[in-house]
Amino acid sequence: MSAAPPSRTSERFCDPDADLTISSCDGVLFKVHRKNLEVHSDIFANAANATRPENGDEIVLLEESSDALDLLFQYMYRQRQPDLQLVEFPAFMRFAEAVEKYVVYSALTLMEIRMKEHIVEHPLHVLEFAVRHGHADFANQAARMAVGLPISDVGTILSPDTVTKWMSFYDKWHTEARATAASLISHITDRNRSTLGSSLAECLRDPKQWYEQRSAFRSYVSVTFLDLEFMASDRESK
C-alpha cells in the first residue's frame, strides 16, 4: 500500500480563523470557511452536518487535486475570480469536473464559456465531459469538430460507451458527407471550378471544413447532414 503524500497547507487558503480544513488527493490542506462553501455549493450545503467545528481538527478528505480545489474555492469567496484563460487545459478539466460535482453556481457559467472555447482544440475531451454531464450543446459541437480526427485517437480519450455512440455518429456523418460531395461534383463547371471546386477540395482534406463552407454549398445541394446530432438536445428530449 502506497503511503499518503505529505501534507502542506495552501498558500492562498490558510486563514487561521477558518473553521474547516479540507485535504486534496495530493495532500494539500485548504483552511476554508464552512459558511462560504455552504452558500455557494448545494453539495456542501447538504453535507453541512458531516463535520462540525466541535470535532476539533478533523480533516475532510476530497478526491480532487489541489489545483482543482484551489480554483474552485476562489469562486466561493468575495474576491476577483481567476482568469480561466490562463489555466492549462488538463487543470481546467479537473476544475470543470469539480464544478459539476459540487454544483458551484458562481463558477458554472464561466466554466461553460471556457469549455466551449476549448472545443476547437480538444473536441474529444470536451465530448467525453459533455456526455458525462449531459451537456447536449457541447456534445454536438464537439462531435462535429471531431469528424476529421483519426479513429485511433477516439479510443484513447473516449469511454467505451461513448466510443460506441461516436462510431455510429461518425459513420452516418461520413456516409452523408460522401453522398453530398458526389452531388456537388456534378455541379462543378468551368465557371465555378475555382470556387466550388476548391471549397469542396478543402472539405475532403479536412472534414470539419464542411461547417466553414456550408453557405457556399447551400445553393447547390442540401447540407442538412451538418446538423446531425450526437446527443439529443433538451428541446427534443422533452
CA distance 181 to 187: 10
The residue type found at 186 is S
Q: What is the pTM of this model?
A: 0.87
Biggest CA pair distance of the chain: 84
Cell readout for 175 is 456516409
| Model confidence pLDDT, tens digit, residues 126-136 | 999 999 999 99
CA distance 36 to 67: 19
Of 93, 117, 141, the position where a domain reaches its end is: 117
Beta strand pairing status for 20-23 and 28-32?
Answer: antiparallel
State the residue range of the domain holding 226: 168-237
> Which residues contact residue 62 at a Cβ distance below 8 angstroms, ignoring those fewer than 6 apart?
22, 23, 24, 25, 69
| Model confidence pLDDT, tens digit, residues 66-120 | 999 999 999 999 999 999 999 999 999 999 999 999 999 999 999 999 999 999 9
30 beta partners: 22
Of 76, 95, 117, the position where a domain reaches its end is: 117
CA distance 58 to 124: 40
| Model confidence pLDDT, tens digit, residues 192-221 | 998 999 999 999 999 999 999 999 999 999
Q: pLDDT at position 184, please?
A: 95
Q: Are residues 109 and 183 in the same domain?
A: no
Question: What count of Cα atoms within 13 Å lies in the side-chain half-sphere of residue 217?
Answer: 27
Q: Are residues 106 and 179 in the same domain?
A: no
Q: Say if residue 26's pLDDT is above 80.
A: yes
Residue listed under C-alpha cell 478533523: 58
Of 54, 82, 117, the position where a domain reaches its end is: 117
Contact (CB, 8 A) for 8 and 27:
yes
Domain count, the chain: 2
